[in-house]
Amino acid sequence: MTAAIADMGANGTQVVNVELPTTTGVGEAFAEFDTALNNYLASQPNAPVHSMLELAEFYRANPEVDYAGIGPFTELQSLDTDAYRDSLVQRHVFQANVVALMDEMDLDAIVYPESFHGAPAIGYRDQQPWGCNWAPHGGLAALSVPIGFTGDGLPIGLELMGRPFAEETLIAMAAGYEAHTNHRWLPPTTPPL
């Protein structure tokens, strides 16, 4: 992350530190994932599993399969709760706070680690809760950009988060970054593009 931010600054991006708005009640909104995925799986007659509970049973029966943080699932969360309804209110508060910060500081994007795999080694573990879940929660535009690899070859990305419907700005920023760096490697099994 530090090198990626330095690369951006060296190639014309003005970089400033910001204190990000706090997030409250966001976790309950992730109940939407459970419900949406369960509905999708139920609608796929040829799928190997037809519910999140079946998916959880698959992972329990196959512990060698890395589920990458998807579960394990025990039961569906309900969308008919006060906590979930409050999270929807907080979603709008969160979005308004992020946009107000961007307006106040004249920012085109906010940059943070896409995930925290390898984060302790790069010093960003204390930046949580920022990661790829927060922009969609707030209805904000976001784009992931590859920035390199961990020592054991896992890809690391940064996320650019912008105002709602600011994808054009984020795509231009990402394209400029990628034009000046060479952090994307094709896996050895992928043929040349």
How does pLDDT run along the chain (193 residues), one tens digit per residue? Answer: 888 999 999 988 899 988 877 766 555 556 677 778 888 998 999 998 888 788 878 877 887 765 555 544 545 566 777 877 887 888 888 899 999 999 999 999 999 888 655 444 344 444 444 567 778 878 899 999 988 887 777 778 889 999 999 999 999 999 999 998 877 777 677 777 6
Q: Report pTM.
A: 0.70
Answer yes or no: do 93 and 74 share one domain: yes
Answer yes or no: do 35 and 54 share one domain: yes
DSSP 88-112: HHHHHHHHHHHHHHHHHHT-S-EEE
Which of residues 69, 90, 106 is at a domain's end? 106
Answer yes or no: do 27 and 47 share one domain: yes
Q: Is residue 140 part of a domain?
A: yes
Neighbours of 151 (CB within 10 A): 7
β pairing state of 155-162 and 141-149: antiparallel
Residue indicated by tokens 């930046």 = 127
Answer yes or no: do 95 and 124 share one domain: no
Answer yes or no: do 123 and 168 share one domain: yes
- The dihedrals phi and psi of 146, each to the nearest 5 degrees, come to -70, 135
Answer yes or no: do 114 and 52 share one domain: no
Which of residues 90, 106, 122 is at a domain's end? 106
Contact yes or no for 3/148 (Cβ under 8 A): yes
Q: Is residue 192 part of a domain?
A: no
Number of domains in the chain: 2
Answer yes or no: do 2 and 27 share one domain: no
Range of the domain at 46: 21-106
Q: Rounded to an integer, what distance in angstroms lies between the CA atom of residue 91 and that of residue 56?
A: 28
Q: Which tokens belong to 115?
A: 């995930």
Which of residues 89, 106, 123 is at a domain's end? 106
Q: Rounded to an integer, what distance in angstroms lies between the CA atom of residue 53 and that of residue 17?
A: 43
